Structure 1
Amino acid sequence: MSDEDRYREQAVSWLALIWGPVFALVGYLTELIGGGPRHGLTWIGVGLGLALITLPWAYARRRYLTVRVTRLELWQGREALPLGQIKELDDVGTPVGARVLGGGWTVPRKYDELPIRLEDGTVVLAWAKDVEALRDALNEVRGSS
């Protein structure tokens, strides 16, 4: 979390890139212990291949599923909502057809929604894995402004 971030949810860590190489290492060690033929170059290729196919997945999740609250904005994926536009966070109902922040059609899977009433009266849906922590961070930052 940077100095400017008041709240941050990262969708995935870059450590996910080591899953493939670790899997390949376990496979190679299994061959060593088993005493059969050893395929060291093949396991290196498997580890690199799995890391390479994990790279775009991790990049996309970090880019489109990160939630941040700074002093001035709520970031949902690539979309920023200035905190000055937020009118109400508590007891806001979710109308049918409310726009989802971040550019998606729906709230991402495994995320909960937080309806937010804006100054112009519209309701948008923010989302986070921990909605209460997001609401608390937004209330804290808006209260200190």
Structure 2
Amino acid sequence: MTARPGSDATGGAGPLFHEPGARWGAVALGPAFCMVALVVELVTGPVVHWLALPILAVVLAGFSYVTVVAARRHVSVELTPTTLRQGTEELPVAEIEAVLPPPDDGREPQRWETARSLGELSDVPRRRTAVGLRLKGGVFVRAWAKDADELRARLEELVGDSGQTATS
């Protein structure tokens, strides 16, 4: 099971790294825009769309809700002392042998840069950066996060310094 912030599985301390995937505030943007449109209509014109604006607000909130739920399920990242969760896939930290250094510009792509991406998505999600991992058994995978440097730092703390000298 996935440890949630503040749960006993992490010793009550919460996750070491967490990105929710999307924020719930995005659901309020559509209705807020409709409220601004209503105020503008009340102030500036004889026509006020009393029926259309609330319906549009509900529709926009509904679409935003579905998008936020999907992003929180499939694009969230959580690192606890025992587990790295990427979307719905969980990887025990004990399986990680090394955290690989970031790629150098101008060089040939490293082996981990074309490896399987963790999570159920086919590739690293948009606006996320990959972090190379070598698992026990020599398998390469790509973890990912918006703040990849912070995720890499937290993983290196857990795994140790062996990843600093690892080559692909």
Give the TM-score, by structure 2 length.
0.79
How far does residue 96 in structure 1 lie from its aligned partner after superposition? 6.5
Contact 2:79 2:85 in 1 (8 A): yes
Select 2:44's aligned residue among 10, 23, 34. Answer: 34
Q: 1:89 maps to what in 2?
A: 99
Select 1:2's aligned residue among 1, 5, 9. Answer: 5
Contact 2:99 2:159 in 1 (8 A): no
Contact 1:101 1:125 in 2 (8 A): yes
User: Amino acid of the residue matched to residue 90 of structure 1?
Assistant: L
Question: Counterparts of 1:105 and 1:52 in 2: how far apart (Å)?
Answer: 26
- The unaligned stretches of length 5 or more in structure 2 are 7-13, 103-109, 161-168
Question: Counterparts of 2:18 and 2:111 in 1: how far apart (Å)?
Answer: 24
How far does residue 97 in structure 1 lie from its aligned partner after superposition? 4.5
Secondary structure of the residue aligned to 2:70 is helix
- The unaligned stretches of length 5 or more in structure 1 are none
Aligned length in residues: 143
Question: Counterparts of 1:36 and 1:94 in 2: how far apart (Å)?
Answer: 65
Report the RMSD for the aligned CA atoms in angstroms. Answer: 1.8
How far does residue 120 in structure 1 lie from its aligned partner after superposition? 0.9
Secondary structure of the residue aligned to 1:12 is coil
Q: 1:101 maps to what in 2?
A: 118
Contact 2:113 2:142 in 1 (8 A): no
Contact 1:6 1:141 in 2 (8 A): no
**Could you say if the C-alpha distance between residues 95 and 39 of structure 1 is closer, same or farther in structure 2, counting changes exceeding 3 Å?**
closer
Question: Counterparts of 1:81 and 1:105 in 2: how far apart (Å)?
Answer: 17
Q: 2:129 maps to what in 1?
A: 112
Give the TM-score, by structure 1 length.
0.90
Which deviates the most, 57-66 or 133-142? 133-142
